[in-house]
């Protein structure tokens, strides 16, 4: 046992003395969190809009107020005719024009239906869609409160539906994904690199000739990363709690336990990669291509799995991060207990056992 701890301590020396490793381990998670949370977000804030109110009655003014006070929009210009719309977009200082139909209020109360048109600058297609969705969300909301107050079936027609979380926060979607990505990257990439480095330096030979058992060598290499990855998981949770004010609805113990499971899974992938690669560059490339892309694209992190072609959907089922993200969402956002994420946990557990056996047998084979 003493031998083993000596090994672990040595591993920590490697980690703490290498600036690059330290940066990847501790800088990257925080930077990535902040990047995804603040910059690469699909939230909108202070989007400039113009309003063409051809009715100019109480209802349209009230809706306008609601839209402008939401914090998402900023009124750039009031238009007086639809001929100006083209010009306003061409100048490029407006993202959306909201057009209220003539006789908006009258139509609403007489016919129970009236129209509002949302015109967006779709040169940035994603943003345009988002802005239109946000606007229609606010208008719909207004329509609903109106219905409750008046108890009459009023209908304001807008073209978009609300897909978003109630507070329209992008962070809700990103935190679980970032967590999967960072844990995957730190655990798998760093372990595969550190094992391959021993091979490259020739120190692996000496370790194998020593009385240490192969299992002790692997565990010794992996242990520090389990520990550090776990710290990372805690940091991510803290940042999302205190910087992004994202509450954890479910049990934090369960969340940490699931993180631990995912870390072990990622580590066994790292060991597997180290057995099939001969040098650090290849291991790094392999980890990036084999882990990062699937984690980002095929896990529901950025693109929803349900919108993918069937073949890709099938492929997604094979990606561990997909299951982990579902678990994290289930616990953090929906407040589910173990019984809610039981299926996903079993899948992850099965994958972990499979990968561990595979990498252990591969590692042994290389010794022969």
Partner 1 sequence: MSQDSIIIVKDLVKKFGNFIANDHLTFDVYQGEIFGFLGANGAGKTTAIRILCGLSTPTSGKVSVAGYDAYKQTEKIKQNIGYMSQRFSLYEDLTAFENIQFYGGIYGLSSKEIKSRSAKLFDRLGFEEFQKKQIKDIPLGWRQKLAFSVAIFHKPKIVFLDEPTGGVDPITRRQFWDLIYQAANDGITIFVTTHYMDEAEYCNRASIMVDGRIADIDTPLNMIKKYNANSMDDVFYILARKMVD
Q: Which residues bind partner 1 (CB under 8 A)?
A: 2-3, 6-7, 10, 13-14, 17-18, 201-203, 205-212, 367-368
For the chain, report the end-to-end CA distance as a whole number of angstroms: 25
Nearer to partner 1, 188 or 212 (CB): 212
Nearest distance, CB of residue 1 and partner 1, angstroms: 11
How crowded is residue 185: how many other Cβ atoms within 10 Å of its Cβ? 23
Q: Tell the smallest beta-carbon distance from residue 275 to partner 1 (Å).
A: 16
> 112 Cβ partners below 8 Å, 6+ apart?
152, 153, 154, 155
Query: How do strand 96-100 and strand 113-120 relate by DSSP bridges?
Result: antiparallel
The CB-of-368 to partner 1 minimum distance in angstroms stands at: 6
How many Å apart are CA 208 and CA 231, to the nearest integer?
30
Residue with structure tokens 């336990």?
Answer: 257
Instruction: Single out the residue of 205, 210, 324, 315 nearest to residue 258, CA to CA.
Output: 324
Query: Cβ of residue 230: shortest distance to partner 1, in angstroms?
Result: 24
Maximum distance among all alpha carbons in the chain?
90
Smallest separation (angstroms) from partner 1 to the CB of 268: 24
What is the nearest approach in angstroms of partner 1 to the Cβ of residue 288? 24
* CB closer to partner 1 out of 10 and 161: 10
Q: Which is nearer to partner 1, 17 or 45 (CB)?
A: 17
Paired residues of 117 in beta bridges? 99
CA–CA distance, 348 with 342 (Å, rounded to integer): 10
3 or 106, CB closer to partner 1? 3
**Least distance from partner 1 to the Cβ atom of residue 202, Å:** 3
Question: For residues 1 and 311, which CB has a smaller minimum distance to partner 1 in the complex?
Answer: 1
Nearer to partner 1 among residue 220 and residue 336 (C-beta)? 220
Question: What span, in angstroms and rounded, lies between the C-alpha atoms of 3 and 5?
Answer: 6
Q: Which is nearer to partner 1, 7 or 172 (CB)?
A: 7
Token pair belonging to 262: 């995912």
- Helices marked H in 202-279: 203-209, 214-242, 252-276
- The helix/strand/coil state of 243 is coil
């Amino acid at each position: 046992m003493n031998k083993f701890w000596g090994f672990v301590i040595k591993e920590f020396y490697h980690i703490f003395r290498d600036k690059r490793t330290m940066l990847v381990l501790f800088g990257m998670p925080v930077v990535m969190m902040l990047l995804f949370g603040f910059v690469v977000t699909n939230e909108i804030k202070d989007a400039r809009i113009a309003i063409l109110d051809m009715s100019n009655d109480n209802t349209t003014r009230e809706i306008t107020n609601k839209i402008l006070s939401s914090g998402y929009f900023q009124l750039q210009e009031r238009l007086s005719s639809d001929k100006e719309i083209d010009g306003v977009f061409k100048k490029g200082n407006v993202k959306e024009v909201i057009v209220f139909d003539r006789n908006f209020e009258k139509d609403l109360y007489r016919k129970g239906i009236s129209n509002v048109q949302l015109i967006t600058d779709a040169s940035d297609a994603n943003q345009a869609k988002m802005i239109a969705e946000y606007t229609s969300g606010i208008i719909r909301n207004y329509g609903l409160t109106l219905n409750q107050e008046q108890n009459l079936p009023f209908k304001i027609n807008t073209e978009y539906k609300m897909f978003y979380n109630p507070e329209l926060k992008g962070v809700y979607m990103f935190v679980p994904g970032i967590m999967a990505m960072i844990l995957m990257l730190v655990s798998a990439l760093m372990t595969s690199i550190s094992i391959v480095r021993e091979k490259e330096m020739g120190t692996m030979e000496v370790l194998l000739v020593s009385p240490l058992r192969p299992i002790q060598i692997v565990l010794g290499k992996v242990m520090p990363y389990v520990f550090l990855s776990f710290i990372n998981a805690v940091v991510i949770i803290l940042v999302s709690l205190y910087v992004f004010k994202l509450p954890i609805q479910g049990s934090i113990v369960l969340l940490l336990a699931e993180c631990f499971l995912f870390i072990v899974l990622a580590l066994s992938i790292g060991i597997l990669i180290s057995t099939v690669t001969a040098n650090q560059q290849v291991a790094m490339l392999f980890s990036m291509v084999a882990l990062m892309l699937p984690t980002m694209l095929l896990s529901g992190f950025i693109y929803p799995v349900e919108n993918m072609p069937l073949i890709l959907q099938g492929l997604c089922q094979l990606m561990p991060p997909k299951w982990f993200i579902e678990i994290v969402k289930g616990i953090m956002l929906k407040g589910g207990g173990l019984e809610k994420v039981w299926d996903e946990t079993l899948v992850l557990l099965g994958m972990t056992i499979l990968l561990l056996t595979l990498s252990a047998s591969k590692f042994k084979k290389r010794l022969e």
